[in-house]
Amino acid sequence: MQDELFAARDLTIALPGSQGSMIRIVENLSFSLAPREILGIVGESGSGKSMTALAIMGLIDVPGARITGSMLFKGQELVGLGARALRRLRGREIAMIFQDPMTALTPVHTIGWQIDEQIRAHESLSRAGARARTIDLLGEMGVPDPRRAADRYPHQLSGGLRQRAMIAMALSCNPSLLIADEPTTALDVTVQAQILDLLRRLRHNFGSSVLLITHDMGVVAETCDRTLVLYAGNVAERGPTGDIFAHPGHPYARALLASIPPLHGVRPSRLLSIPGQPPSPAERPAGCPFRPRCPQAHAQCEQTPPMVRRGEQDIACVLAAPEPVQA
C-alpha cells in the first residue's frame, strides 16, 4: 500500500545465545502504520515489544545480533541501513520516548538546553530561535510556565513534567513517527491520563503517527486505533482496537482480557487466570508458542499456526474463523 508510513514484514530479531546458538527474540513480525495512526503493541514482559522498538530505531547494539526481514519507512528500507543514514532519520523523522525520562535526559544540563541542542543538531537555527521553539513546545506539552521550566534541571521537575519535557524533545523536529515505549508505566494514574491525552492529540497538532508499546490493555483500549498483541515474540492477533477488545480471536488475547479485574460491573468471585507463565525466548515450543498454556490446544497446534483473517482482524490460530489469508 502506498499510504503506509511504516511497514514491517517478517521482521525477525535474533541475538546470540550460549554456544553459538541464535535466540530469536522476535519472529516473523509484520505490521504497518498509516500516517497519523496510533498503533499499540501490547504484550507481557519478554514478548519482544521493546526489542521491536529498538530495532526500528536501529538501537540494538548487541554484538552479533541479526535482524532479518524488512522495515520500510516512507519507502526506505531500514534493515541493513548504515549508521550515518540512520542517524539522519533518528530524531528528525523517527523519535522515541522511554518509560524513564531520566535515561533520556542528562542531569547536568537544563531541559531547555537539551531541547535546544536537539533542534540545532537537525536544523540550522540560532540559539535564540531554538529557545523560542523550545518554549513553544513545552507550552504545547502542557508544561506550566514553560519559560521558567526550560531553565530547570531534570531533577527539579516532577515525573509528569519530566515526561512532558522528554516528549517535547522527541517532537522538537516534528518527526513523522513517534515510538513510545511504556511512556506512562512509571506515572500515577492521574498523571498518566494527562500524558495519554497528550499523545492522542499529537496526530492533530503535529501530524505524527505513534507506535505505543505497553503491557497495559487499558492504555491500549483508550489510546490506539489499531492493536497488535504479541506473545513470546510472535503476533497472536492484530486488528482494529475496537474489534479486538469486543471479539478477541486468539485464545491468548481472550484470556489476557479476561484476567484483568474489572473496575465496573459484576465482580467475579475468582479471576480467570492463564496457567503457567510465558516461555523464555530460548525455550519456546515449536508450533504455536501459546500451546502449553492454551485451554484449546490440540495436535494441530504443533505446527506453526496460520494467520487467519476475520473481518479486519488477523488471528494466528488454527481455531479462528474460516477464510485463511495467504501468508
Interface contacts to other proteins, rule CB under 8 A: 44-45, 144, 158-161, 188-194, 196-197, 215-223, 241-242, 245-246, 255-257, 259-275, 277-278
The nearer residue to other proteins, 8 or 235, going by C-beta atoms, is 235
C-alpha–C-alpha distance, residues 132 and 38, integer Å: 29
Tell me how long the chain is. Answer: 327
Strands 308-310, 22-33: pairing kind: unpaired
Query: What minimum distance in Å lies between the beta carbon of 64 and other proteins?
Result: 26
Shortest distance, CB of residue 78 to other proteins, whole angstroms?
Answer: 30
How far is residue 313's CA from residue 243's CA, in Å, rounded to a whole number? 7
Report residue 291 as a C-alpha cell. 500451546
**How many CB atoms neighbour CB 54 within 10 A?**
17
DSSP 269-291: SS----SS-PPPGGGPPSS-TTG
Element spanning 239, H or E: strand 234-240
Is the CB of residue 199 less than 8 Å from the CB of residue 212?
Answer: yes
Looking at the Cβ atoms of 132 and 271, the one nearer to other proteins is: 271
When the beta carbons of 268 and 285 are compared against other proteins, the nearer one is 268
CB of 25 to other proteins, least distance (A): 17
Q: Whole-number minimum distance, CB 142 to other proteins, in Å?
A: 9
Tell me whether residue 106 or residue 194 sits nearer to other proteins (CB atom). 194
Residue type, 129: G
Nearer to other proteins, 20 or 261 (CB): 261
Distance CA 9, CA 313 (A): 17
Give me the numbers of helices (H) and strands (E) for the chain, helices first please: 11, 12
Q: How far apart are CA 120 and CA 67, in angstroms?
A: 32
Q: Which CB atom, from 56 or from 149, has the smaller least distance to other proteins? A: 149
For the bound state, the minimum distance from the C-beta of residue 312 to other proteins, rounded and expressed in Å, comes to 14
- For residue 316, the minimal CB distance to other proteins (Å) is 18
Residue closer to other proteins by CB (options 70, 194) is 194
Smallest gap from residue 253 Cβ to other proteins (A): 11
Say if residues 112 and 134 touch (Cβ distance below 8 Å): yes
What's the min distance (Å) between Cβ of 53 and other proteins? 18
When the beta carbons of 116 and 181 are compared against other proteins, the nearer one is: 181
- Give the C-alpha separation, 74 to 66, whole Å: 23
CA 257 to chain centre: 19
In this structure, the strands spanning 226-231 and 209-214 are unpaired
Nearest alpha carbon to residue 238 among 2, 8, 1: 8
